[in-house]
Amino acid sequence: MRRRSASVLVTGCVVFLLAACGPSGPGSAANSPGSTPSSSSTPGATATPSTAPSPAAADLRLVIQDYTVPEVRLVRLNATRTAVVKGQYDGIVAGKVIIVNGLALESLSSNGTLKTLGHLTQAPSWLGPGTVILKPDLSQWIYTIADTDTWTSHIHLGSATGDQVIASVPSPSPDGAAFYQPFAWKASGVYMVNQPVGLGGAGPFLDYHFNLVSYDMSSNKVSMVSPDCRVFEVLDDGTAICGTSGAGYVEVRSPSGQSKKIQVTIGGPANSTDAVAYFHVSVSPDSRRLIVGRNGAKDPVINYQMAVADLTASSAQAFGPLDYLPDAWLPDGRVVATHICAYVDWGGGPCNAALDGTYIFSADGKSHSLFFKLKSGSVVVGYV
């Protein structure tokens, strides 16, 4: 999920970006503060997986970003911490956790080995994962330094041996209120987004995603993807997962231009939350399914609900009980999710805040167990 920086787009955690401001956004205050364990201790919370994992799955590490410190932690499925590294979580590439620590760009292996890949010449405005995008083999990276007067995008290409500006591109907005922000570097190409500035707001389903742009490294030209794609993810083969405004579906757009629409909301009266509102969209590790957060109640009542769909399906089906939102897929199909109650002021329905915490759901969504009650500001963002 793309996060937006307080310095450029919003102030503090006013915007309801669940992963950016903590594991459960506005509901994080209801979470048990629970002290996090030391690297050699096991937390008090029971952390028995809901289904027996395969040997490979049992040995994986969950990646936790603590946005308040900031730091990145690796944790076993029994909630035992195995590594702690200072810095901002930037993504997972080639099985490594990418971390930006000041001007240092680092990779963290599942065994806790930390490696410095190189250094940035200037710190970009922090916009969450993808602020720096890396080539799949980790040999090069791209980031943007934007002028705050004209919003010209100075695109940097870095490597272990140096860093240079390879293009300076004028703002894509007629009024200069946008710039080109890196999004993903895949085998199919380099992708950016048309990133507006000055955004703010609050709401139960507020989740900023912007129009996709392709970047040609041979010509250093940027081109808006047409038709517009409000992008959630770009898969390795170039398939784009696009969102819609005012409609309750996700578009799966192949590199050949073929498009498939998946209804992900429960449907309802026009412009109601149950008809159009969804967020927390992500694709499974095998690139075959997607999961979203939506309203599982009837407008104006809001109860968060997870829903899953095959990328070839026409609609998404409920996954698990109400009041959970997805955080990360696991390679065996299980889902890490956060229990959260929607604010009463936003129409929140009956919900037991005492259940707030991070859980692991079975691949079919029929069972789940507590992983840990992470403190506010911490969220599971993936695995290695």
AA letter at 323:
D
315: DSSP letter:
B
> Mean pLDDT for each 10-residue chunk of the chain (384 residues)?
32 30 32 29 30 57 97 97 98 98 98 98 94 98 96 97 96 92 97 92 90 95 94 97 91 93 94 93 97 96 98 98 98 97 96 98 98 96 98
What pLDDT is attached to residue 182?
Answer: 98
State the residue for tokens 């730091």.
71
Closest CA to 98 of 182, 26, 24, 38: 182
Cβ burial of 119 (10 Å; 0-12, 13-18, 19+) is: middle
Instruction: Quickly list H helices, the chain.
Output: 18-21, 55-58, 273-276
Structure tokens at 11: 């102030």
Whole-number pLDDT of residue 380? 98
* Domain limits, the chain: 18-383
Q: Which residue has the tokens 């696009």?
A: 242
Asked if 333 and 367 count as a contact pair (C-beta separation under 8 A), the reply is no
273-310 per-residue burial string, b: 16 or more CB within 10 A, e: under 16? bbbbbbbbbbbbeeeebbbbbbbbbebebbbbbbbbbe
Tokens of 101: 């620590």
Pairwise CA distance, residues 70 & 106, whole Å = 14
pLDDT score of 201: 82
Q: What is the pLDDT at residue 199?
A: 85
Residue 132 CB partners (closer than 8 Å, separation 6+): 90, 98, 100, 105, 120, 124, 141, 142, 143, 182
pTM, two decimal places: 0.85
Name the CATH topology of 18-383. Answer: Methylamine Dehydrogenase; Chain H (2.130.10)
Strand partners, 145: 154
8 Å CB contact between 253 and 259: yes
What are the φ and ψ backbone dihedral angles of 20, each rounded to 5 degrees?
Answer: -75, -40
The SS3 assignment for 152 reads coil
Report the pLDDT value the prediction gives residue 58, as an integer from 0 to 100.
Answer: 61
For 89, the token pair is 């979580």
Structure tokens at 42: 């096991």
Please state, in angstroms and as integers, the Cα–Cα distance from residue 311 to each residue in 78, 100, 192, 308, following that order: 31, 32, 23, 9
Taking the chain, what is the end-to-end CA distance rounded to the nearest angstrom? Answer: 17
